[in-house]
Amino acid sequence: MAAKKMFGAADASILVTGLSRSFDDGVTRVTLKRISQTSIIGLTYPPTWSVSLLSMTIVATSMMLCVDTCTTQLQCNFFDKLRVVSLLRNSIKLALKQLKNWMAPEKAKTSLTTFPASAEIVSEPLGVVLVISAWNYPFLLSIDHVIGAISAGNAVVLKPSELAPASSALLAKLLEQYLDSSVVRVVEGAVTETTALLEQKWDKIFYTGSSKIGRVIMAAAAKRLTPVVLELGGKSPVVVDSDTDLKVTVRRIIAGKWGCNNGQACISPDYILTTKEYAPKVIDAMKKELETFYGKNPMESKDMSRIVNSTHFDRLSKLLDEKEVSDKIVYGGEKDRENLKIAPTILLDVPLDSLIMSEENIWPSPSNSHESFDMIRSRPKPLAAYLFTHNKKLKERFATTVSAGGIVVNDIAVHLALHTLPFGGVGESGMGAYHGKFSFDAFSHKKAVLYRSLFGDSAVRYPPYSRGKLRLLKALVDSNIFDIFKALLGLS
Amino acid sequence: MEGMKETVEESLREMRETFASGRTRSLKWRKAQIGAIYEMVKDNEDKICSALFQDLGKHSTEAFRDELGVVLRSATVAINSLDKWAVPKHSNLPLLFYPAKGKVISEPYGTVLVLSSWNFPISLSLDPLIGAIAAGNTVLLKSSELSPNASAFLAKTIPAYLDTKAIKVIEGGPDVATILLQHQWDKIFFTGSPKIGRIIMAAAAQHLTPVTLELGGKCPTIVDHHTISKNIKSVVKRIAGGKWGSCSGQACISVDYVLIEKSYASSLIDMLKPTIKSFFGENPKESGCLSRIATKQHVQRLSRLLNDPRVQASIVYGGSIDEEKLYVEPTILLDPPLDSEIMNEEIFGPILPIITVRDIQESIGIIKTKPKPLAIYAFTNDENLKTRILSETSSGSVTFNDVMIQYMCDALPFGGVGESGIGRYHGKYSFDCFSHEKAIMEGSLGMDLDARYPPWNNFKLTFIRLAFREAYFKLILLMLGLKR
């Protein structure tokens, strides 16, 4: 097999130039115009882009089968696979159904100050955008963003994560096969390729990954004044109040943690906060439900995902092996390096300054705290913060005083599936948001348009300036008709 | 500098403490602060106008129109609308999630940094400040050292009117900015040039700080003589006002250059000349209605742009420069070469190039060769041309049949795209600019579906498939045992 040619700066430049040309030729836009003119999307002769979106549905479904048969490095459990495909299909269906509404200009109200005028806000594509995806949900975090970019009318380059190489290869193959490659391209690779891509001028960069690399991406974007959306991570805390339905709480935490790629998700519960008195009850409930879900021997359970690769495995291992941490294990702790499996592990009262509590780790560890809200606030803002309680006042306080990308009360991670809520971080957990219309908006420029009449020009606007003009201006600023009349009549 | 470093650290510490105390979250506090800004401007109109006259030679009417008036209006709108802006937005959730509820609340970022500019030192400081306060943040404002009197006014007067533990002012130049940028802010709002914008964003990247950059660009003005000839007088006045009437062309949304069909160029010039005279008299330098250029360096820059012999040859009006008096005469150029420096850099001065085309439709092509500007202006009644401009060009905004006035429309977002900036503000957009939109979902502990949890079986899988598709009828059948 011939050695794969390295994708370098020159290749990146050619790629972007080609895509820009297609974008300028109106490939992504003309069809959008046609969409807005047809009353039903995807009529008898469906425009290119809508075929693209429909094709994605086929892609998504076929991926379901492919993932089963190929030996991917990341073997997610079946539920995860099902969820990914379903989320993608819903995303596509929503875009197809709503696009006409999303694209419609938004009327803006004008005031007396600019009378006579009419104003509107028009959504336009940004141009050629770059999507850099992550390894934990390689299909979801690639295709969902590509859907957003295309529906907004952009040309897009996707760079999937090299840490999920089979998924990356499959994405490259299927996207080029089904979609219009003059406007949608995939570049596979690692640091070299990403660096080459980042040196080009993009109209937007959408990055999903770690805070550390997020900084690198934003710094590169700064050179070209490229706006970015950064979907990063953070330690998502779960506060478990004693006034809650413990069985439901614990089931949801487990499903949200170990059920989601074995904790390898940006909004996985990272650590649990509960009171000293309540902790034993929480731990017991968790042990019981973990056994119900994964059986007595979780390492053998088919429903548990692997760790993505040995580097991550070693990192997690090290976190567990730290002296102060290893003796806090109250459940689990088994590791199998060969199969890259770590059993669901619960730690109690890990020191707050241990490595496991300071890195974004993906381990649960109930620690005790009366001032759990303060504890959360003393740490970098997470992507999600969770609270389980029946107490209305506590819910109110949590929602208003804890800052996070998103807050979920009495459930875990489900807000990911909601297209009516913006999904994004704040502070260390990121900037920008997406999902549903928010994706369309993330990849659009909202252009302000003002229509003015050529009639009726007020001399007040122009030099030479005088006291009379000043009076009228003051009245105009207040949009006060009475004052305006007074000024015009020279009475004020 | 050591002293400055300590001042910054101490200020940050105090602002963060104030934010953590929760005081700025109260809508009452925010309205009181914004009300105080209103009072401050109203009480000190004369002082402000005097400072602006000293810094830029601005006439008090221009100062009111472009700065004081803007701030007063912004404050009024914010106070009247804040309750509405702060209301959580409820979201509909799919039936499957019933009885869960979803909403989005706007929460302040925390402690934010506003870096202002020299050309409109009062409004470009206070307007973003109003937005930051409305959203509930604590704010540090760094005013520009190139408008020292306005800067001194702000530094002295803001502490007398506003909550000093939450809102602070720092004066200084690039060295102070450098110190400020080394620290972590929850948001940075910058108005200035693209060159500095890059530096700001790169510094912000180190801390993952979101930014709003209000930059500039060459704002082109298309004049479609065919369709507006009846109102040509208004058109000419508006263009002249948009070039020379506001800070002598030193505004991010100033008319930068005009595009017109060759056959009409000379009549346009013939109308512009008397218009300039009507604005500024025979001797604009002494008129008192034409602002000065900011500094000698800025005059030298404009001088350099004009010194290109090909550009010199294109001067049809004006062209004189008095560096001592920081004066550049209102100047008109006819067809300077498109590859000259003046046609590739934001002019930011009282020089107006008129670029002729054979057909006005060609103007779109010329605009597209340049970076996306903050605004595009077009005087036309041709609907086709309007549609082409809207769909084939990109800019922060487009205004038809007028110039600069989009700034006054606070229902429209004000911001750039590409080289002209990131983010937007004005009106509610200012509030949003300084807020984090936090999604809140509240699930129910009461209803729990076994199908959500492992161990998996066929029933659960079918259930989940149908649930995702929101095929409720089939779901019911499944649960009743009538579907497999």
| Closest CB to A230 among B208, B379, B422 | B208
Backbone angles phi, psi at B157, to 5 degrees: -90, -35
- Higher pLDDT among residues B324 and A117, named by residue: B324
| Closest CB to B453 among A293, A428, A461 | A293
Residues 6 or more apart in contact with residue A171 via CB below 8 angstroms: A138, A139, A142, A143, A158, A160, A186
As a whole-number percent, the residues of chain B with pLDDT over 70 amount to 99
Give the pLDDT of residue A47.
41
Residues in chain A closer than 8 A to B104 (CB atoms): 421-422
Size of interface A-B (CB pairs under 8 A): 294
Cβ contact (<8 Å) for A108 and B105? no
Q: Is the predicted pLDDT of residue B171 greater than 80, yes or no?
A: yes
pLDDT tens profile A293-331: 877 776 776 666 666 667 777 777 777 777 666 666 777
Q: 3-class DSSP state for residue B137?
A: coil
User: Rounded to a whole number, what is the distance in Å from the CA of A228 to chain B's nearest CA?
Assistant: 9
Residue type, B118: W
User: Rounded to a whole number, what is the distance in Å from the CA of A125 to chain B's nearest CA?
Assistant: 9
Residues in chain A closer than 8 A to B469 (CB atoms): 86, 89-90
What is the rounded average pLDDT for all residues in chain B? 94
Structure tokens at A129: 């955008």
Structure tokens at A124: 């336009």
Cβ contact (<8 Å) for A225 and B417? no
Q: Where are the domains of chain B?
A: 1-215+425-437, 220-415, 451-480
Give the pLDDT of residue A261.
65
Give the pLDDT of residue A356.
59
Q: Is the predicted pLDDT of residue A489 greater than 70, yes or no?
A: no
Give the pLDDT of residue A163.
87
| Closest CB to B456 among A78, A108, A377 | A78
Q: Which of A344-358, B354-368, B405-419 has the lowest mean pLDDT?
A: A344-358
Q: Is the predicted pLDDT of residue B305 greater than 90, yes or no?
A: yes
Q: Is A94 on the interface with B (CB under 8 A)?
A: no
Q: Is the predicted pLDDT of residue A177 greater than 50, yes or no?
A: yes
Spell out the alpha helix ranges (H) of A245-342.
246-257, 279-294, 310-321, 323-326
The widest CA-to-CA distance across chain A, in whole angstroms, is 90
Q: Is the predicted pLDDT of residue A492 greater than 60, yes or no?
A: no
What pTM was computed for the model?
0.92
Residue of chain A whose alpha carbon sits nearest to that of B426:
A448
Give the pLDDT of residue B167.
98
Structure tokens at A269: 């519960």
**How does residue A233 score in pLDDT terms, banded at 50, 70 and 90?**
confident
Highest mean pLDDT among A68-72, B185-189, B459-463: B185-189
Q: Is A450 on the interface with B (CB under 8 A)?
A: yes
Q: Is the predicted pLDDT of residue A419 greater than 70, yes or no?
A: yes
Interface predicted TM-score (ipTM):
0.94
Angstrom distances, CA of residue B23 to CA of A255, B16, B359: 39, 11, 60
Q: Is the predicted pLDDT of residue B52 greater than 80, yes or no?
A: yes
Give the pLDDT of residue A201.
95
Residues in chain B closer than 8 A to A232 (CB atoms): 208
Cβ contact (<8 Å) for A225 and B280? no
Residue B400's H or E segment, with its range, is strand B397-400
pLDDT tens profile A145-166: 998 998 899 999 999 999 888 8
Give the pLDDT of residue A216.
97
Cβ contact (<8 Å) for B228 and A454? yes
| Closest CB to B69 among A252, A399, A473 | A473
As a whole-number percent, the residues of chain A with pLDDT over 70 amount to 74
What is the rounded average pLDDT for all residues in chain A? 78
Given the structure tokens 């999604």, which residue do they identify?
A: B439
Assign domain B1-215+425-437 one CATH number from 3.50.40.10, 3.40.605.10, 2.70.98.40, 2.40.160.20: 3.40.605.10
Q: What is the mean pLDDT of residues B31-60?
A: 97
pLDDT tens profile B103-113: 999 999 999 99
Catalytic residues of A: 231, 266
Give the pLDDT of residue A93.
81
Residues in chain A closer than 8 A to B436 (CB atoms): 403, 426
Give the pLDDT of residue B477.
81
Q: What is the mean pLDDT of residues A458-480?
A: 77
Give the pLDDT of residue A22.
84
User: Rounded to a whole number, what is the distance in Å from the CA of B69 to chain A's nearest CA?
Assistant: 6
Catalytic residues of B: 214, 252
Tell me how far the alpha carbon of residue B443 is from its chain's centroid: 39
* CATH architecture of residue range(s) B220-415: 3-Layer(aba) Sandwich (3.40)
Mutate to test the interface with A, among B438, B450, B456, B459 (most CBs of A within 10 A): B438
Structural domains in chain A plus CATH codes = 9-232+438-446 (3.40.605.10), 237-428 (3.40.309.10), 458-489 (no CATH)
